[in-house]
Amino acid sequence: MKSLSYCILMAVVGLGRLCAQANPNEVIQKFQDSAQLNDERVKVFLELEAKAELGDLDSIVRVGDYYYSGRFPVTRNNGKAKALWTKGASLGSDQCASFMYSFGFPDSNDTDVVIEKTKWYIIQAQLRRNKYKTPGEPEVRKPSNISDSSFEEAKLRAGAFLSSVVHPNRNIVRPAEEMPIEEKPRVISERFRLPSFSSIADANAFRTELLTEFRKVQGPIYHNQENASEADAGAYAAVAEKILALQSKGLGITSQTSTKRNSYNAASVSKISALRSQLRSINIKTQAPFARQDANNAQVFLDRYRDLLDALNRGL
């Protein structure tokens, strides 16, 4: 099995070779032109990519998001993002399947596109059911934009994919009394109360301010993890509680603040619903010790919350 250090080395070698290309226009560039090996953001990405190569689900989600968004240091590459999310779904990640459903396909009425998107709708629903051990297996409701025959085809394709999915042990749900303390159901902190949003602009202003706060406290946690000082861990926890409050109370509030809420088409409603589901599924930890993945989760949440606000604000 490939080691983490080996994967990181190969990623670094790949960046060096790419930078040495005589004619970069002849290849699809993986990294942005300004990416340098001594840039800490490049190192962060290479570590995530190496972990994704080894099958770490959280890293697969994160690297896929890098490629989908074109986030520095990589160039935007939807094909790579979809390949990563497909890999993650094949390892049992409902979040990867949900990203494939929400972002893997263009808005289109083409039959095959509709079938493929519906396939991922079925897959993410089943993986989430597996994850939370939901009793029974009720039929997934047929979306209104697909014919009966195409829906049957989508179910066949979803079934074929699901038959080969590997279900990791991390998805096994144990009784709360058997869980380690940090895994027990979260109790929402009363130390921070989310302000009332009167508009999407208010919600976005709060998110922007919260993102600024998060970036100030993220570094010590990312680099020192459980060895972060008590002061650094406390500062991060305070910001994490705000993010958790936004996750707990902010998703429903935004639906009431959009003046366009009655003008969404079916595709928009589906995308908004998928984004809310993704946001609810992200684990936001508010108590030390913190790991690097906790900071990654918080960053993904803030990025996806922005996507939700954009989707709510556009209206169709």
The pLDDT tens digits of the residues spanning 211-261 come to 999 989 988 898 888 888 988 888 999 999 999 988 888 877 554 444 444
Q: How far is CA 109 from CA 35, 105, 144, 147, 262, in A?
A: 39, 11, 12, 11, 22
Number of domains in the chain: 3
In this structure, are residues 130 and 252 in contact, taking their beta carbons and an 8 Å threshold? no
Identify the burial level of 13 via C-beta atoms within 10 angstroms of its C-beta, where 0-12 means exposed, 13-18 middle and 19 or more buried: exposed
Q: Is the pLDDT of residue 84 over 90?
A: yes
Structural domain boundaries enclosing 144: 91-169
36 and 146 in one domain?
no
**Which position has the higher pLDDT, 96 or 131?**
96
Last residue of a domain, one of 22, 41, 76: 76
The span from the CA of 303 to the CA of 297, in Å, is 10
Hey, what are 252's tokens?
């429903």
Q: What is the pLDDT of residue 80?
A: 93
Say what the pLDDT of residue 137 is: 55
Q: Does a structural domain hold residue 287?
A: yes
Q: Which residues contact 316 (CB under 8 A, 6 or more apart)?
A: 263, 264, 265, 267, 268
115 in the same domain as 196? no
